[in-house]
Amino acid sequence: MESLSTDGRAVVRVDGTVFFVGGALPGDRAELELCPHTHPPSARLVRLLEPSPYRASHPCPEAVACCGSVWGVLAYQEQLQHKRELVLRTLRKAVGDIEVLPTVASPLQWHYRNRLSLSVWMEHNRARIGFQTEPRSRGGTPVRTCLLAHESLLPCLRGLADLADDLHTDGAPRLPRRIQIHRTRRGAGVLLVFAGELEESDGPDWRARLKNVPMPGGLWLASGTRAGIADLHKPLLRMPGALPMLTAWLGNEVEVHPAEFCQANSGAADLVLERLRSLGESRKFARVWDLYGGYGALGMAAAGTRPLTVLEQTSLCRETLEALAAHAGNTQAEFMGGDLLRTVKNAASRMMADDLVILDPPRSGAHREVLMALAESHARHAAYLSCNPARLGRDLALLFAAGFRAAEIQPYDFFPQTPRIEVFCLLQRL
């Protein structure tokens, strides 16, 4: 086996054809069953003849069936090296010769997630709660524990698994599409996301059903899409006693709405915030623009007490930004809510050469309209934080065409034991 792919499978070449092998690692010698007609070509691991020297014992009892920590069998330093190589290969395909720094390790290798997102489905007339195996699938891998989750979430996860065992097709309440377990000041809290509109009975039904589940942080409910994504344009139901989600910002605890986005690995995210704070202190940017900014965590780190404008679609984040600004002593922070494709045009007309523009888009990458607005602005400094190296490469190609160049490309391991990687890219334009 030669290397690892972006989906975590090993890569092997047979007679010039590349095959992807689940469950294998670089350095393994194995007997394979080739499946050349799949797309892309794949192979099944029949028998491990000689294990890789980098193989480790996976500590999770769910590891054989669960897809949540597929790299848990790979020594951690090797994970870091392969993640850098993944970023390097992906970006060089998109923009040519480029340098990538060594991956920065996560402060915690296990129990680092401050929230878990679980799918819910019916299987053999029983409810199941676990990790989705394939995108847009209605099934998955049921789990009762997760070594990626913060320890305070585990009693709640076990309680939900026990509850699922008792939920049958007949007599079960309406099932949510997704369940989020998150940290609060008192312990685990729960957000249920339903496909479609909330119904009047959902709150009382599920509060009664969950009465024996350890969730001192309380219960929230939300309308959502068929994929289980909360619809932030519709009302969210906060049951009595429910607390906000707890995350961190530069070592300080911050409470956010559980439907807001925040990084699941607060410790690793703080390393990026420290880099931005150091950058802001040394460059003293006139204004920081935080696009796809959420509650302004990245922008506030870079701005300090200087002017900051956060562009974010949902107004849920405004209150958190105000609390963050008060904590940072920033009296010059403003929030621009609404459709980013509309607000960015006005913002770009105000961007100056000594400003910093931060982009932290979703996994699908930045919108072309946003990139073009940045390209046509006077801004000369930008920072891009991406959880998808392929989309980062696509977007860098457009920004490079507009005169930007990469001054720093630094992978950060926000997702230990998985193939996923976060990449911080600092851009300058002469």
Q: What is the domain-level CATH number for residue 307?
A: 3.40.50.150
The first and second tokens of residue 236, run together, are 């969210």
Answer yes or no: do 47 and 141 share one domain.
no
- Three-state DSSP state, 6: coil
Which residues does the chain have with pLDDT short of 50? none
- Sign for the CA dihedral angle at 372, 340, 425, 26 comes to negative
C-alpha span between 372 and 332 (Å, rounded): 27
- Residue ending a domain, among 251, 281, 305, is 251
50 and 120 inside one domain: no
Q: What distance in Å separates the CA atoms of residue 58 and residue 146, rounded to the nearest whole number?
A: 12
Place of tokens 């010059």: 332
Residues 198 and 227 in one domain: yes
Helices (H), 7-75: none
| Inside any domain, residue 60 | no
Please report the pLDDT score of residue 46 as a whole number.
92
What would the two tokens of residue 352 be? 């100056």
CA distance 79 to 416: 8
d(CA 220, CA 230): 11
Q: How far is residue 416's CA from residue 78's CA, in Å, rounded to a whole number?
A: 11
Alpha carbon separation from 66 to 23, 312, 332 (Å, rounded): 12, 35, 47
411 and 293 in a common domain: yes
As a whole number of angstroms, the distance between CA 102 and CA 392 comes to 17
Q: What is the pLDDT of residue 172?
A: 62
Same domain, 128 and 97: no
> What DSSP letter does each residue of 270-281 carry, written as one string?
HHHHHHHHHHHH
Q: What is the pLDDT of residue 186?
A: 97
Residue type, 173: P
Neighbours of 93 (CB within 10 A): 11
Answer whether residue 318 is part of any domain.
yes
The predicted structure's pLDDT at residue 39: 86
Segments forming the whole domain that contains residue 138: 115-251
Residues 241 and 377 in one domain: no
Pairs from 93-97 (Cβ < 8 Å, separation ≥ 24): 93/393, 94/390, 94/393, 94/394, 94/396, 94/397, 95/393, 95/396, 95/397, 95/400
* Same structural domain, 394 and 301: yes
Q: Are residues 331 and 358 in the same domain?
A: yes
Same domain, 122 and 244: yes
Same domain, residue pair 234 and 372 = no
Quote the pTM value: 0.93
Residue 231, burial from CB neighbour count under 10 angstroms (0-12, 13-18, 19+) = middle
Q: How far apart are alpha carbons 311 and 299 in whole angstroms?
A: 10
Structural domain includes residue 200:
yes
Q: Please tell me the predicted confidence (pLDDT) of residue 138.
A: 63
* pLDDT at position 5: 86
Residues 236, 320: one domain? no
Q: Which of 251, 285, 315 is the last residue of a domain?
A: 251
Looking at the fold, whether 270 and 409 belong to one and the same domain comes out as yes
- How many domains are there within the chain? 3
Q: Given this model, what pLDDT does residue 93 score?
A: 95
Residue 78 domain-assigned (yes or no): no
Half-sphere exposure of 341 (CA within 13 A, CB side): 4
